[in-house]
């Protein structure tokens, strides 16, 4: 009799309260001192800072009212952005040595679909990692 043991790497696909960027002071500091990376329709503003949280990254999402007028549409886009980030946050957290705060900004004027957002977020993760390697 042969016994096969499967080892699975446990990755939490959650976006809990401790992983969300809510501090007004941190958000102001992020916009004042942060660096940015773009992958249309996303713009990521990031800042390496000790935020005192348990997670490696604290993230927030925003959709400017200037680009998307109706609140219903802005809220739907934000829900999609959070979901895409939740499913793909492992691509941002790998190879990070220090904690970061993130703000994802949606720059397009038209409504996105999930597949396009996911591919753009993956491109953004690659660009983020190359940019922080260049900065070091």
Domain-located, residue 7: no
Domain-located, residue 123: yes
| 6 has pLDDT over 50 | no
Domain-located, residue 11: no
| 41 has pLDDT over 90 | yes
* Residue 13 pLDDT level (bands cut at 50, 70, 90): confident
| 124 has pLDDT over 90 | yes
CATH code assigned at 51: 3.30.230.10
CB-CB contact of 21 with 60 (8 Å)? yes
Average the pLDDT over 64-93 and give the result.
95
Q: Which residue has the higher pLDDT, 51 or 105?
A: 105
Q: Give dist(CA 55, CA 82) in Å, integer.
A: 16
CB-CB contact of 102 with 60 (8 Å)? yes
Domain-located, residue 126: yes
Instruction: Provide the pairing of β-strand 100-106 with 57-62.
Output: parallel
Number of domains in the chain: 1
Strands (E), 5-89: 35-39, 42-48, 57-62
Can you tell me which residue has the tokens 């990692």? 129
pLDDT at 126: 96
pLDDT at 106: 97
Q: Give dist(CA 10, CA 27) in Å, integer.
A: 31
Q: Is the pTM of this model over 0.85?
A: yes
Domain-located, residue 5: no
Domain-located, residue 6: no
Domain of 43, in residue numbers: 17-135
């Amino acid at each position: 009799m042969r016994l096969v043991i499967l080892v699975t790497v446990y990755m939490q696909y959650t976006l809990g309260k401790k992983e969300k960027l809510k501090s007004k002071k941190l958000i102001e500091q992020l916009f004042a001192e942060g660096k940015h990376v773009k992958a249309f329709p996303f713009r990521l503003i990031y800042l390496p800072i000790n935020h005192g949280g348990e997670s490696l990254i604290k993230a927030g999402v925003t959709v400017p009212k200037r680009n998307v007028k109706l609140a219903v549409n802005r809220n739907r886009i934000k829900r999609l952005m959070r979901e895409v980030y939740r499913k793909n946050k492992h691509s941002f957290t790998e190879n990070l040595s220090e904690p970061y705060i993130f703000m994802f900004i949606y720059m397009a004027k038209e409504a996105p679909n999930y597949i396009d957002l996911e591919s753009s977020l993956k491109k953004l993760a690659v660009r983020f990692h190359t940019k922080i390697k260049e900065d070091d």
